[in-house]
Amino acid sequence: MISLRDATPHDGAALAAIYNPYVADTVITFETEPVRAEEMAARVSEAQESKLPYLVAIDDTTSQVAGYAYASKWKGRCAYRHSVETSVYLDRNQCGQGIGTLLMEALIERLRAAGMHALIGGIALPNEASVGLHERLGFKKVAQFEQVGHKFDQWIDVGYWQLILPET
């Protein structure tokens, strides 16, 4: 069973342990150096200071963090204040079990309650799992930038998926 809770800076080491294999082995993230636990803790604090959700999924059988999802500011200018970028990462041993969906559904509900309007997911391509997750949740592809990232001696395209939340 999986339970969700708000992340805290104390989760920094667990978040780094999930994230760093993506840094080291994939083009899913464009970071190229491992992220220290302290940096992940700072990222959690930054989201909280911005009043944006940062959620963790806990595997109740092991009490370990199985994944996380968060929102960050899309852009810094004031008119963008109702738009956020969403991100989700799973422990690679936990993929395919519905945890990403659970996290993203909860994140979307938190963002809806916070009055957000446009949710944007940037996806390094190809990434069938992430595209499938976003599209199942109602995100629509709105853009693709060609060869904007370079990692592991290859150029990488990035697609953007957007979900507009209806006004309440």
Q: Note the pTM of the prediction, 2 decimals.
A: 0.95
Report the pLDDT value the prediction gives residue 31, as an integer from 0 to 100: 97
Residue 16 contacts residue 35 (beta carbons within 8 Å): yes
Q: How do residues 107-136 score in pLDDT, each as one tens digit?
A: 999 999 999 999 999 999 999 999 999 999
50 confidence band (pLDDT: 50, 70, 90): very high
Question: CA 160 to CA 75: how far, in whole Å?
Answer: 15
% of the chain residues with pLDDT over 70 = 99
Residue 94 has pLDDT above 90, yes or no: no
- Token output for 41: 């803790």
Report the pLDDT value the prediction gives residue 4, as an integer from 0 to 100: 98
Residue pointed to by tokens 């800076």: 9
Mention every residue, 6+ apart, whose C-beta is less than 8 A from residue 127: 28
CATH of the domain at 84: 3.40.630.30
Number of domains, the chain? 1
Of 80-84, 94-98, 112-116, the one with minimum mean pLDDT is 94-98
State the amino acid at position 33 in one-letter form.
E
Question: Containing domain of residue 54, as a range?
Answer: 2-164
Question: CA 125 to CA 131: how far, in whole Å?
Answer: 9
Mention every residue, 6+ apart, whose C-beta is less than 8 A from residue 46: none
